[in-house]
Structure 1
């Protein structure tokens, strides 16, 4: 196509940053979006799928995306400037206006706000001025950063590197912004069960060196891939189906059904995508797996890719997870160097390779079709279904999308067999499950328990039922609140459904009697308001109306009285749930609905304890 580019020219630094990404892009071989044999026509758009990596490179180099940089990216990747601008402005970690090259993103979400987050925001304002005001160094409020077990949390986005601090204080943040090295949080600290012989998914955490392939192999690594190659793709898919493995990201879709559909497709080009854009408030299990056991995910994706007939896989990792990204890049490089990835996997003649793509701060990209759009270099807006990804997914090809925990389960299924996995739990709830415990618990962290373990038993593992426990947010911001009289619910898909709750992504966020639930609900509503992609009216408008009503209730300024406001919330809930295009809008009112039904609003007061911000 003919492009009308902007007149602005890039700086030398911007040009070099873009060239470094485009010139080193690995995805140009068979099965890639530029392979002329795939028949997709994707090559006509150049390498549009490199749009996010190119923008990240510019941000990392100079701190913002200028008109000159945008124009050069468009020229290089053959993307219309208007469309590229739409992508650049969609993501929270990108900026098309000048801003400080050193930024501290301070979490004020439900997992951090009441546990030091608001105090840290106040301290940062005192030291660096109002949010976003500094020219060289600044700070900003952030949604959940996936470090809830060590609140409060901070993500550093700077031109001299990215980092995480948790728990964070003002001194540590300001020193890091000044260029001091930051030792990222140790994932082993986040796994109180580390070292237990009863673990499956977490068995190697704290045991293997995440950067050493030999250490991984000594702990049984690559036995799963070896067996998968020995028994063949069809047998692997059958084992996954027999195991009744369901998706661990929240939707709980049968994994075997996805794999069978893609494996059985006659299309010669297929893709595998790992959804590692873990952004559900209160969730951090995938981060721990990626940081502490990255080779397991690389191996599992290799097994999955070969099983379904994909020659290329994409690992879409959350932009706020720099340590996880670094660990995965090292693991992929080592696996490729030792013949576990590439044109001849383990001497089998099978072809499979991986690319890592960094997200850019958009919760909606956890939705599978929005993630595919993001990978293709488009705005992360969900697609209408059907067609489903297994038929027409990434670059229009059959695609399997699974999250990190789901994929890592594949290794034990291949090694032990589907029936052994299915023997744990019951019904559709088989195997073990990872749960993220935070809030007022004695030992917050990631816990692995068999499906069917009760909520009470899980809390006992974390130090016992918290004193003064008032409610638990189960499943994350898109989940529901449960109360102390429901602690004996079995943690299965069926058991939680019976009490009107959901396992979701495995969040168990505990609140005590001092909690201001009106403020908590407003923060949840504000999260969905900010993260709505705006594509459909029910979600775009509904999330705003929901947050406005909760703000009025929180401040005691109800219009027409409390009954009228609650009826409005109920009406908005129905519209979003029934008419939104994707799961974000469909579940944006879930926590609010459950809190209202339990009468949590009003318990603990109505005003914020640490300031009042919109």
Structure 2
């Protein structure tokens, strides 16, 4: 019997390392099992996850397993006496089956630190095919047939970027993987690198061969230590097996990959800023053209794709471009990995065909809204994206449809919001992020985002003025038009999309000095209703002693002392606390 513990970052944070250590100690003392690890299967809300494979080939998945439960669970499983309340529900299994997993097909299945397991599932077959059967042009043509577009931002055709670098005569050429994942709530790249690093390496090597490069660089966030560790292991193993280095597979092709740990600047997700950082300079974008394909790293032809883009390449080569293009829509082919976060019951990583409606992802796969609240909106594309309101939940997730409603695909972040989310404050949050992450090179971005943020801060504090909405819209246009890179050009998107769909909330903040979502502290206060039975629970839980009253009598909140923490509202079992 083999026991596999999910040791992605989410699992470790939930206690999976303690589960593994407890099992390891028992194995060292004679427990008769084979112990192994894997990455995140995507169901982060169920971590720690433990898979038990039986000798007959069957397996059971157990969720939310604690370290003090694991030994009993394993011993009973050996006797086929399953602890049912720890077994994954049929509902969660169905949510997994509704996905189409290409980029993350091996995540949560193989041990990411063992190349043999990757090879056993067809790993490096695509590379072998490319080096022995296909020319550079044939590889690029297969990528073109697939319709693969960059999965890191605007969705530029991958084949076009590869071909642009290939036709350049100057050498050396470079293949760069952009793993600088900085969006709040995004963890797609991290999960792929932690769960299936060889997949990304293989995609890079194929891309390097196609454009005529001999060196690859993975620019990964230093905040991803586990991803870096597993990449280092994978690179060493690939070299040992002859998939990296000199004379790969005896074909005469030389290609090597190294890792560059970035310092975590969001702007370095922009390709020219990333290149500047690679060269040891401050990460600041430059004018294009020339594009990196012509003059990139050290002024040489350079191709840059993100992690998910490279992860799709081996599957496309193995199965054919037409197979990949059979998924998705006419202009948005294949699948897309999304990070479901926010007010969602089943947060985690999902991969679905392009063209799936937003509501299907949120309800059928994500399980709906947390605490059965009302779905209000979803922020697509992170701080560079836009807000899609609930009445547009039938909009499909593809590049064109999202652009039409004022959002973008981006790298795949989906932050779900419910009725308690203030859209003005949400716009303030994302703008605060981009303002801090601005490199400051462009005046409109450096100062424009600051001025916009100041207006939003005034509004949520109850000091909004007539004309603020129009001023925000005017500043947004100027920031977009005057910014050099995608950060500044997209920074106003959350503001513009929330004004577009939730203008009434802005007006309520400004004119009525009210927050409809009852979220902005300066614009709300708590009162005890007449149905209070005087149980004293709110009084005992108030951190500042703002509540007074006798037993079995209606209590009172001192508004001067109240810090509006909401604790009284949370603990009252009789709905006797009103938010006004």
* TM-score calculated relative to the size of structure 2: 0.71
Alignment correspondent of 1:592: 495
Cα distance in 2 for partners of 1:537, 1:581 equals 10
Deviation at 1:245, TM superposition (A): 0.9
Match of 1:464 in 2: 368
Deviation at 1:189, TM superposition (A): 5.2
- Name the structure 1 match of 2:403: 497
Which residue is 1:400 aligned to?
Answer: 303
How far, CA to CA, are the matches of 2:397 and 2:421 in structure 1?
A: 25
Q: Residue 273 of structure 1: SS of its match in structure 2? A: strand
In structure 2, C-alpha distance between the alignment counterparts of 1:521 and 1:565, rounded to whole Å: 14
Which residue is equivalent to 1:288?
Answer: 191
Question: Contact conserved, 1:492 with 1:503, CA < 8 A, in 2?
Answer: yes
Selected match of 1:312 from 212, 215, 239: 215
Inter-CA distance 433–413: structure 2 relative to 1 (3 Å threshold): same
Other-structure match for 2:552: none
Post-superposition offset of 1:552:
0.5
Distance 1:298 1:209 in 2: 16
Q: How does 1:34-113 map to 2 (within 5 A)?
A: none
CA gap of 1:500–1:294, structure 2 versus 1, over 3 A, is same
Q: Partner residue of 2:125?
A: 223
Structure 2 matches for 1:124-523, cutoff 5 A? 165=13, 187-188=40-41, 190=43, 198-230=100-132, 231-459=134-362, 460-464=364-368, 467=372, 468-523=374-429
- Distance between the aligned counterparts of 1:344 and 1:195, measured in 2? 41
Measured in 2, the distance between the counterparts of 1:420 and 1:281 equals 33
Classify 1:512/1:380 alpha carbon distance in 2 versus 1 (closer, same or farther; 3 Å): same
Mapped contact 1:246–1:255 kept (Cα < 8 A): yes
How far is the alpha carbon of 1:167 from its aligned partner? 9.1
Residue of structure 1 aligned with 2:454, choices 545, 548, 557: 548
SS at match of 1:472: strand
Q: In the aligned structure 2, how far is the partner of 1:196 from the partner of 1:564? A: 47
Partners of 1:194 and 1:330 in 2: how far apart?
29
Q: Secondary structure at the match of 2:172?
A: coil
**Structure 1 residue 188 displacement after superposition:** 3.0
Q: CA deviation at 1:442?
A: 1.3
Deviations 1:173-230 (A, max 9, x none): xxxxxxxxxxx99623546766889422221112110000111111111111111112
Q: Is the 8 A contact 2:38 2:112 kept in 1?
A: no
| Structure 2 Cα separation of the partners of residues 575 and 275 of structure 1 | 29
CA contact (8 A) 1:556 1:606 kept: no
Give 2:518's aligned residue. Answer: 605
Partner Cα distance (1:385, 1:268) in 2 = 20
1:241-275 per-residue CA deviation (whole Å, 9 max, x = no partner) reads 12121110111011111111111111131100000
Whole-Å separation in 1 of the counterparts to 2:431 and 2:42 = 31
Contact 1:274–1:315 (CA under 8 A) maintained in structure 2: yes
Q: Report how many aligned residue pairs link the two structures.
A: 435
8 Å contact from structure 2 (residues 369, 418) kept in 1: no
User: Structure 2: 5+ residue runs without aligned partners?
Assistant: 1-7, 17-36, 45-91, 507-514, 523-562, 566-580
State how far apart, in whole Å, the 1-side matches of 2:244 and 2:403 are. 41
Cα 1:608–1:166 shift into 2, 3 Å: farther
2:171 touches 2:300 (CA, 8 Å); kept in 1?
no
Stretch deviating more after TM superposition (219-228 or 491-500): 491-500
| SS at 2:246 equivalent | coil
- Partner SS for 1:471: strand
Looking at structure 2, the residues matched to 382 and 498 of structure 1 have their Cα atoms a distance apart, in angstroms, of 27
SS of the equivalent of 1:274 reads strand
Does the CA-based 8 Å contact 2:445-2:488 persist in structure 1? Answer: yes
Q: Which region of structure 1 is more displaced relative to structure 2, 195-204 or 425-434?
A: 195-204
C-alpha distance in 1, partners of 2:99/2:454? 50
Cα shift at 1:301: 0.7
Shift, 1:482, TM fit: 1.1
- State the alpha-carbon separation in 2 of the partners of residues 255 and 555 from structure 1: 45
| Cα drift, residue 426 of structure 1 | 2.3
Give distance in 1, aligned partners of 2:347 and 2:326: 29
Does structure 1 conserve the Cα–Cα contact (< 8 Å) formed by 2:99 and 2:351? no
2:100 and 2:352 in contact (8 A); partners too: no
Q: In the aligned structure 2, how far is the partner of 1:540 from the partner of 1:493? A: 28
Alignment check: 8 A CA contact 2:452 2:472 kept: yes
Whole-angstrom CA distance in 1 between matches of 2:218 and 2:518? 44
TM-score by length of 1: 0.68
Distance 2:105 2:407 in 1: 29
Of structures 1 and 2, the larger Rg is shown by 2
Question: What is the root-mean-square deviation in Å for CA atoms of aligned residues?
Answer: 2.4
Moved more, 495-504 or 307-316: 495-504
**CA-CA distance at 1:474 after TM superposition:** 1.3
